[in-house]
Amino acid sequence: MASQMKQWVLAKRPVGLATVEDFHLVEVPIPNIEEGQALVKTLYLGVAPVMLRYMNNETEFERPLHIGDVMHGRGVGRVVESKCDAFKVGDIVQSKLRWREYAVIQDEPYYLTHTMHNTDLNLSYGVGALGMNGFTAVLGMRDICAVQPGDTVLVSGAAGSVGSMVGFIAKTLGAKTVIGIAGGEKKCRLLTEQLGYDAALDYKSPGLYEKIDKYLPEGIDVFFDNVGGELLDEVLGRINRRARIAICGRISEYLIPPEQYHRPRNLYRIGLKDAKMEGFFIYDYAKNHHEYEHQMAQWIREGKVKPYEDISVGIEHMPHALISLYQGTNGGTRMVRVDPSAH
């Protein structure tokens, strides 16, 4: 085993969108483990829009990140040494590995570590379809929106990691029409040609709301929202009776100060239409992890969910991978294969 490893530390706080200069790649010795710990070789690391907020210590659920600390993040790895009963050498784990080639983990709730069961499928799925983003799609679409046969479904952020799985799930549950919103022609083609959407609406070209009316003339039964802001407000203006809205994210407002947040005018329609709108956070549903894994693995094996991945090879690519989420240059689940030999 090598004696040195690479890791990314926070060099400075980002101003607006992060830049490569906000991070610093350093080489350090691979750590020794103590009693109760395991050493994990990182195979894949995911990126998520929320990481920009970790860099500014803006979330309540992640430990503070100081300048010089290793960047927070989840990934998939193989246990290579263990002094902990919970993890055996050879186990494939999903955990808060952080942006580093080897990670020390402990059997503590903070790490939200799960041993992957379906390791015959691609291990990269542990970052996407069989990880937090896939489970977010199941929780939002199957459990919170409880899609019924015949429903009309609209999804924002549809070509991203979560959105790329939401459309498949809606169709699998019997939705009549599933429409995705994404930025640009290329992503819209991806939605209809590879991600199971019936139609795609480009929010970067004019007339988005007219297009929603055209494609969903009967109104909206289910809205899975990754974007928030004005779009959510406009959708509220078009919901049907007993509509269900899953508030998954609000990326359109992550980089602006609260005084610039859109003030919705159509909230009254939740009451008027006896609708439900619910926010949720996947970490609160950790106890369901293996049920979600089983469900998604089954749908993948049946060809009902086709994971779409956007993979760079080499830990050097981590900052670019994160920045791409805000530039919209990713498609499906953006991740980095840290160990080039991982399958």
Q: Pairing between strand 333-337 and 37-46?
A: antiparallel
DSSP state of 100: B
**Which of 82/330 has CB closer to ligand NAP?**
330
**Which of 37/226 has CB closer to ligand NAP?**
226
Instruction: Check the CA dihedral 114-223-161-70 and report its sign.
Output: negative
For residue 236, give both structure tokens. Answer: 């509220």
# of chain residues touching ligand NAP (CB under 6 A):
29
- Per-residue x/- mask for ligand NAP, residues 116 to 155, rule CB under 6 A? ----------------xx--x-------------------
Tell me if 281 contacts ligand NAP by CB under 6 A.
yes
**3-state secondary structure (DSSP) of residue 237:** coil
- Dist CA 188 CA 199 (whole Å): 8
Tell me if 209 contacts ligand NAP by CB under 6 A.
no
Rule CB under 6 A: choose which of 111, 209, 215, 326 binds ligand NAP.
Answer: 326
Question: Please, are residues 39 and 81 in contact by the beta-carbon 8 Å criterion?
Answer: yes
Which residues in the 214-233 window bind ligand NAP by CB under 6 A? Answer: 226-227
Q: Minimum CB separation from ligand NAP for residue 98, in Å?
A: 17
Cα–Cα separations (whole angstroms), residue 319 to 103, 107, 273, 327: 18, 28, 44, 12
Rule CB under 6 A: choose which of 10, 252, 299, 305 binds ligand NAP.
Answer: 252
Instruction: Check the CA dihedral 90-94-97-98 and report its sign.
Output: positive
**Which of 114/334 has CB closer to ligand NAP?**
334
**Which of 192/240 has CB closer to ligand NAP?**
192
Q: Minimum CB separation from ligand NAP for residue 29, in Å?
A: 32
- Dist CA 244 CA 280 (whole Å): 13
Tell me if 182 contacts ligand NAP by CB under 6 A.
yes
Cα–Cα separations (whole angstroms), residue 110 to 15, 62, 178, 240, 285: 28, 9, 36, 40, 14
- Dist CA 27 CA 34 (whole Å): 21
Q: Minimum CB separation from ligand NAP for residue 50, in Å?
A: 5
Q: Select the span of 32-40, 58-66, 75-83, 247-255 touching ligand NAP (CB under 6 A).
A: 247-255
Residue 154 has φ and ψ, to the nearest 5°, of -120, 140
- Per-residue x/- mask for ligand NAP, residues 151 to 170, rule CB under 6 A? ------x-xxxxx-------
Which is nearest to 229 in space by CA: 208, 249, 199?
A: 249
Residue numbers at the binding site for ligand NAP (CB under 6 A): 48-50, 132-133, 136, 157, 159-163, 182-183, 187, 226-227, 248-249, 251-252, 280-282, 325-326, 328, 330, 334
